[in-house]
Amino acid sequence: MVQLLSNINKEKLRKSNSYLLILIAFSLPLSIALPSILTAILIINWLLIADFKHDFNCLKKNKVVLTSLGLYLLALVGLLWSQSITLGLTYTLAKESRLLLIPLYMLFARKEHLKYYIYAFLLAMSISEITSYAIFFHIIEPFGKATRYDPTPFIGHITYNPLLAIAIYLLLYYLLFTNELTKKQKILYTIFVVTMSINMFVTGGRAGQILYLSMLLFVIFKYFNKQKIKALILSFVLLPTLFVGLYSTSNIFHNRVNLAVENLSDISKHPNSSTAIRVNWTIVSWQIIKEHPINGTGTGSFRIAFKKMNNIISPDIENTINPHNMYIFELVELGILGLLAMLSIFFYQIKYARNSSIPIIKNFGVMLPILFMIMMFSESYLLLVPTTSYLFVLFSAILYKDYDTPC
């Protein structure tokens, strides 16, 4: 009887952890701290369940879990040739430890809750978008990270706009690729696609804006899957038209495009512009990579290796601890081995999704790694940016779990 009660309590804790995943999905666009707090509660519940052998057997064959752990273990081994074990432990490994949440979250993801994880995220993005418009139209005063010029209150535009692009994709998926929406829901989703698309260019995240345009391109080709010529023509017409329209109507987009063009046209005349500085960071980083191509400079060594090389190449340009490019960061610290380990995660995600019989996984499961591979060119979104890192591990857990195997 005691054992029976114990099993019942374990099942309650497992189910409550699935509800925590729903709350984590909801918290992502609204708070930087809340996902960590909810995850801490989930970990406590997992330790109370204490069914570790069962958990190991559930996950031991999952390639997404294995490749995620592989990247983390490589970073751990990278401490052996690190130029600073302290930084390796407190900075890089501390951030890459979020990869360990993929198997943890996966243990408690439930097939019947799949739509609730996604709806929770979309609801929170809708709240964030409405709040952004309320600030933009002077209905409420700016708060948090928001300004009138850049109304992103809960999280900054660096993370808000990529999340917004992913939310728009999910809404388009339900509108274009499913038959599960009622007429009223289709109208509501269409309204949010339009208003979120406008909001994308009311706020200032260039990475998210590029991601949005890239995402639209993928959606067009997916929708006209058997009509490639039509998809190509529509892309050539729609995207330039959209760009010109946004350039003409959005002040923030207009100004950012002009600034980027001006800075790129003659970088030597604008050495302290954000564009010139990022170009310089890339040049300096590539010099380090050429000297340590295979296994990099070691876990936690980026800022030290960068400072040494920067003092030689361009001492007048500021140093950085993050090159704003996930590929470059990984190459500097762990070399080609680290890059291949990271890309292997995306490879197995796409492979799993393509073979899935669950529609949302078959579609969003392919798009998630593609979107991250695009956005990582402009920022270290996978591991160094908390909000997008949590989003990646959460959706990796719920999309790439083998729901056909009892666990």
Would you list the domain boundaries of the chain? 2-399
The one-letter code for the residue type at 304 is: I
pLDDT under 50 in the chain at which residues?
A: 1-4
Q: How far apart are CA 112 and CA 287, in angstroms?
A: 50
The DSSP result for 150-178, as a single string, is: S---SS-HHHHHHHHHHHHHHHHHHHHH-
Residue 228: per-residue pLDDT:
84
Residue 341: per-residue pLDDT:
98
Contact 376, 185 (CB under 8 A): no
Residue 193 Cα distances to 187, 204, 216, 281, 328, angstroms: 10, 18, 12, 36, 33
What is the per-residue pLDDT across 34-51, written as a single tens digit (0 to 9) for each?
999 999 999 999 999 989
Global pTM reads 0.93
Residue 263: per-residue pLDDT:
62
